[in-house]
Every structure is written in C-alpha cells, then in structure tokens.
Structure 1
C-alpha cells in the first residue's frame, strides 16, 4: 500500500516540510526525467507536496519498458496518482507533459470524479490544435538534431555515443507518444487552466497557446516569458513564483471540488 511519505515507481516525491495542504504534480517533457525538475522539489513553500513523474526507460527505471502511446501513459499515470488525490491536486506539464497533464485531468474527472484544482500547461499546442510529426520514424541523427534544436539538453552530452545509446530509446518512445497523439476533441476540463510559453519557442507560438482557452470554461490565463522552448530554465524563479501564486489561489477551489463536489 502506498503511503504519502515515500516515493513510488511512478513519482519522485518531495514531501511538504510542514502540514501538506496541496499537491503539485509535474509531468516532464519528451526525453525528460524527474531529475530535470529537482530544483522544483521544495520551491513552493512548506505546505506543498511535490510529485514529479518518473517515466519508464530512464534513471532508476532504466530497465522498465518504455511506453510509446499517450493513452497507455495517461492511464498509468492516472492510476499511480489516485492514492494522492486526498488533497487538492494541481498538474503542471511541459511540452509533451502538457498533453499528458490534460489527458490525466480528463481521466481523473471523468472516470474517478476527482477534479484537479488547476491544470498548468507549458510550451505545447492545445489538444485540438496538435500537429503530430513523424520524427519518431526517422533515424537517431534526426532525433539528436531535434534535441539540439529545442535545447534543454547539454550539447556535450549529445556528442557522447554512450550517452546517446542510453537516452535514445526513451527519447524515441516519447517522440512516438507525441507523433501519434492528436489532434483530438477540445473536451473542457473542470478547473482553471494556466498556460506559459517562451516568446522565441521554435515549435509553439503564443497564439497557439491561447487556444488552451477553448478547453477552460472555468478560467484561463496565458503568460509569455522571454526564452525558447526551455524558457523555464532561464526563467526558473519567475515561473516558480507564478506557479506558487496560482497554487495559493486555487487551493480553496480544489478543496471544494475534490472528489467531484
């Protein structure tokens, strides 16, 4: 039985230092890992329990079979998250993680009568505006070139054949998730949606991010920050501050709406 004092196969947990009042669930980008978000662990105040998803095929799940379909990934993450929905839950997803966060939100509210306090999405087109690419069908060189284009990965590491051998299976699986998912119906979520985008993102524009408002009848906000696809690295402090403000404001909403109430 899962207890709230330990990490799980699916989540690296950063426990609240005080009495937990809310949970922030972070869903990484394609090719990303929980380690990328380590600095987020205790950045949101003593009352926030932070869970960062650990996708299979990397780090301490290196020998686990990678998942290459969004529906399977969303089902698994949702099931792993259910034991942690006793407090208001906010989901934050970056890039592929934003699409995943949306799918998990729908599953929570439609299948389990749990409505998150808020959905936070970053650097990803809205579900009904997705334009899947067939990059996952191409060779390793094309995948490495895409990682370089987007940034967020140390270039020197990408030059190392041993590192490439280690990371490429998970990268290809994630790019398959992205390349075979959407566009899909713009099904509304039962919570506010907050969106962030870098002003120089090579794959998504502020106008495209604004389309998330179509699935947000309970409130929508968009912030454009300086930077590219991984603006959240150089804008770490600003983004964390803004997410913290939203967490504080939506905690009461989550308490009222948890378990479909």
Structure 2
C-alpha cells in the first residue's frame, strides 16, 4: 500500500474490513497509531494523513474540508474496493462524512458504517472564529480546547510547527458549510463524551439521523472532548463488534 494519505497503518492480509480513521483539527495520523493493537486481525486500521503534517509537512491544505475529503476519496479510490468503514473525531467526523458523500457521488460506493465521534451533525457544526486571534489568544484557546498536547504549548520549537497546522484546520472548519447531498444509505453511529462542551446539545448530535436512510445509533461515554483516550479498548471493541456484524 503506497499512498500519501495513509500513515501508521496496520496491514493484516486476512482482514475482512478496513477502518479509515480521520483525526481532529490539529491532529495527525499518529493519533490513531496505537489503535491497531486493540483490534483483531479481522480489522485493518488506516489512519488518514492530512497535508501540512508528518510526512506531508511540505504540502498545503486544500481550501475547504469538502475539497480535502474529495481529494482523499479520489486519490485513494483503489483502497475502497474491499469492505470499509469511516471513523472521524470532531472535525474528522465532518471530513469523514464528506468523504462518504464523495465516494457515493463519484463511484457509487458507501462504507459499511460512518462513525462520528465528538461531533454534532453537519448542519449544526460550529467552531469559534479564530481568524482574528493573535498568537497568544489562539494558544490560550487551543489549550482550553484540548486540540494540542500541553507539552507542545510549552515548547517554542514544537509550537512553531503545530500552530499553523491547528490554525488552518480551525479556519477550514469555521468556513465549512454542508452541501445539498442526499442522505447516505449506510448506518451512522455517533460516539461522544458526556462532558464534551461540543456535544452538550444532544439534539444536535441526534440530528445525524437525518443524514442517513439507514439506522442511527448513539453511545455516550464518561469524559470530555478526548474521552477516547481513557476508553480506547472499550471503544475499539465496540467498533469491531459493530463492523463484524455489519460485514
């Protein structure tokens, strides 16, 4: 498997299902690097790598989340020939949704399921405007938001590397507007933390049900925006069980 879009992947030759994982704003494929240890060989984990980070640090981000999703879908077309599912966390959930739409519109293929983590539906998604923030204000904001590990905020060299990435991701999310797509026909499964300020309006999470003609399900875990970190094994078991039932 050779593609700039996937990094830290597991490649189990006998896998039944490929799970593509889309990171949050400011995140990279490395966030999902340890996920493969929590799945059986029936599931391949394919962490998605956006431009501006890790091995793609010299590439610019597209002008919109929709275009980012479209490019990934088209350039990874051959990887979607086997049964697959999409998982996205926060901003990654919106990108995963747009990727699902692009795959159907261009190739008439859909995932077994779309998993949306820490995200309200596309028509309710919103993010605080950061475009007018100076660096100090923005650093304080992302520290509170939890988008960047605090250790990076205390290291100037790391901060200089990550700040443009996080700022660009937040600007793209701020400017996102959902297109006039028909509903997906695959199930949508929402997951979130019960103290995540992004998903406290449960009706806005439940609104994901409108974006599919198939089943909608929601699971809530103790925790805040990055509830995943403290419930990783439990969540990976849930994802694998769900996927094997669907597959």
TM-score normalised by length of structure 2: 0.93
Cα 1:21/1:181, change in 2 over 3 Å: same
Distance 1:184 1:111 in 2: 15
Q: Alignment partner for residue 208 of structure 2, among 212, 229, 233?
A: 212
Bigger Cα displacement from structure 2, 42-51 vs 180-189: 180-189
Consecutive unaligned residues in structure 2, runs of 5 or more: none
Q: In the alignment, is residue 60 of structure 1 matched against residue 62 of structure 2?
A: no
Distance 2:61 2:97 in 1: 20
Bigger Cα displacement from structure 2, 220-229 vs 202-211: 202-211
Distance 2:25 2:147 in 1: 11
Distance 2:184 2:141 in 1: 31
Deviation at 1:80, TM superposition (A): 2.6
Question: Residues 244-255 of structure 1 correspond to what in structure 2 (within 5 A)?
Answer: 244-251=240-247
Q: In the alignment, is residue 35 of structure 1 matched against residue 30 of structure 2?
A: yes
Deviation at 1:42, TM superposition (A): 3.8
Alpha-carbon RMSD across the aligned residues, in angstroms, is 1.7
Bigger Cα displacement from structure 2, 72-81 vs 59-68: 59-68
Question: Residues 64-213 of structure 1 correspond to what in structure 2 (within 5 A)?
Answer: 64-151=59-146, 153-185=148-180, 187-205=182-200, 206-213=202-209
TM-score normalised by length of structure 1: 0.88
Distance 2:53 2:13 in 1: 31
Cα 1:131/1:152, change in 2 over 3 Å: closer
Deviation at 1:68, TM superposition (A): 4.2
Q: Is the 8 A contact 2:61 2:68 kept in 1?
A: no
Cα 1:224/1:185, change in 2 over 3 Å: farther
Distance 2:219 2:94 in 1: 18
Q: Is the 8 A contact 1:68 1:174 kept in 2?
A: no
Q: How many residues align?
A: 246
Aligned-partner SS, 2:33:
helix
Q: In the alignment, is residue 23 of structure 1 matched against residue 18 of structure 2?
A: yes
Deviation at 1:151, TM superposition (A): 2.1
Q: How far does the alpha carbon of each residue in 1:120-167 deviate from its partner, in whole angstroms, 9 at most, with x for none?
A: 001111011123432234222233223212225331321211111101
Distance 1:183 1:133 in 2: 17
Consecutive unaligned residues in structure 1, runs of 5 or more: 1-5, 252-261
Question: Which aligned segments of 4 or more residues in structure 1 are displaced greater than 6 angstroms?
Answer: none
Aligned-partner SS, 2:21:
strand
Q: How far does the alpha carbon of each residue in 1:188-216 deviate from its partner, in whole angstroms, 9 at most, with x for none?
A: 11100000010010222233211111112
